[in-house]
């Protein structure tokens, strides 16, 4: 089964185009290091929660939009090796592909796929 890295971030709404450029450059690097594909989603219908929500999790500000994305890898071993390569890749350096959002509020994690339909 495949392996998935998932991400949730708060991106300044004014940076939507810059985010799209950043994500397109990044997935080229991820694919060079073994990723199969990526999906980037710009929040459109994000309800506010009482106990928790996407917005609360990333401490979204009034002028920000929640982004939800994932990268699909063939397996965890490829992901582990690929991530090492991605972080060492000069095309992912801050000056080469700056993040148009506050990376300190990025939520991410790796997931073992248990079911696909």
Domains of the chain: 3-45+53-112 (3.30.70.100)
- Ramachandran region, residue 59 (left: φ > 0; alpha: ψ -120 to 50; beta: rest): left
Once rounded to an integer, what is the mean pLDDT over residues 13-22? 97
Give tens-digit pLDDT for 74-85.
999 999 999 999
- β-strand partners of 101: none
Residue 20 in this model has a pLDDT that exceeds 90: yes
Residue 13's pLDDT band, with cuts at 50, 70 and 90, is: very high
pLDDT for 102 beyond 90: yes
This prediction has a pTM of 0.92
Buried b (16+ CB within 10 A) or exposed e, 90-101: eebeeeebebbb
């Amino acid at each position: 089964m495949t392996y998935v890295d998932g991400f949730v971030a708060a991106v300044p709404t004014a940076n939507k185009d810059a985010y799209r450029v950043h994500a397109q450059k990044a997935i080229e690097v991820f694919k060079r290091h073994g990723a199969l594909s990526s999906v980037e989603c710009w929040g459109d219908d994000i309800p506010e929660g009482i106990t928790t929500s996407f917005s609360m999790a990333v401490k979204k500000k009034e002028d920000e939009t929640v982004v939800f994305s994932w990268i699909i890898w063939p397996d965890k071993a490829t992901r582990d090796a690929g991530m090492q390569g991605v972080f060492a890749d000069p095309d992912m350096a801050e000056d080469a592909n700056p993040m148009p959002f506050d990376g300190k509020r990025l939520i991410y994690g790796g997931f073992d796929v248990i079911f696909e339909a």
